[in-house]
Chain A
Amino acid sequence: MGLKDVLTRIPVGFATVFKTVLRKPVTIQYPEQQKPMSARFRGRHQLKRYEDGLERCIGCALCAAACPADAIYVEAGENTNEERYSPGERYAKTYEINMLRCIFCGYCEDACPTNAIVLEPIEFPTGYTRESMIYTKEMLLESPPINVPATPQRTPPGKYDRAILPFPPIDESQ
């Protein structure tokens, strides 16, 4: 570096650094402030419902079978028309995910026959104890749509005989 460079380029560097003071800091104050996640981000699991408020999960435990980390525990219960949680015979009486074991691979999503479990861009599991990292069904289940009753519901006989609805016929013209 010659004298000319020292006198011309170093002041430019100082000015560049000084300009940064006038800029807003890029820091995000994490616990209070959170960066918006991409809509397609696969974060925490959520158990979904149908529009009529019934749970999609039928307690088949295919997700638990598919889970490579063995993080999911499902215990099924029997539906009745007086106390109905989901269409069909059975529902998930217990549904627990150990977030410390989960590797967020999304295989549970793929395994689910009713699209009940979905990885959503919602707040990521954090906690101070191991116990608090085991998410129960109440924590995972999404709230029912507005003006729709939660489960269990009293339903007319014969309406929800099938756990998985048959696919609608494929329209060849489309």
Chain B
Amino acid sequence: MDEKELQQSRRGFVKKTTALIGAAVLTAPSANAISLTNPGRERGDARYIGQEGKRFGMVIDLRKCVGCQACTSACKSENRVPKEKFRTYVPEYELGTYPNVHKAFLPQLCNHCAEPSCVSVCPTGATFARKDGIVVVDSEVCWGCGYCINACPYDKRYFNPITNVADKCTLCAHRVDHGLLPACVESCVGGARVFGDFNDPHSAVSKLLSSFPTTVLKPASGTKPRVFYIALSGEIQGLPYSPNVLDDMARKIDGMPTTREWSTKGE
């Protein structure tokens, strides 16, 4: 079996496994029910429990996003995200036909879903939602099987090559738990990213939700994301893939690693 075939057979294996786990989830009453015990949660560690009574999330006002990638860089710096990995990123699109073309930006991060499919597939209990809704991974418990990475319909988890376990956006839980804001929000140049508590009707996020029509990504996936978008163009959802992801192509030419979150499909 050459390398390519090996890859394909592995992919096939993944698909089957996923389907199997998917079926199991269907029979489970809720995501929490299949979460296994986790020592941190059992001993009531605040990092695991989160802030009771709150429901954190984000509203992203796309009218204010300028696609500057300050969030991307702030996150990488704050969270020591390994090279070639991202917890958040802002893809940029062109919509329309010359000369009637417009730019579109879509800041993306973990949606901290109310029904997180990543949690339901975790065989170890390493990934779970805190009581304040922040979905986290316990890197002590995770053994890096990768099911959650495959299960996330948003592709917002990655394999951390340093810790050898699954990794993802924590909404900067370490900052939020200390009364601060997530790094991406702190550094959002246009002021598009608004973080807050959806349980508080007076919070900025609640007010935005009640004042503007909002959309979530892939509503049909049933995950109930808690990252909402104002003025998200319907055209972006379900866009075709780029024929080639050119950055990856340039990296390949240079002999640089290309195992990136958005590596070209079918490459």
Please indicate whether A and B come from the same complex rather than being unrelated chains. Answer: no
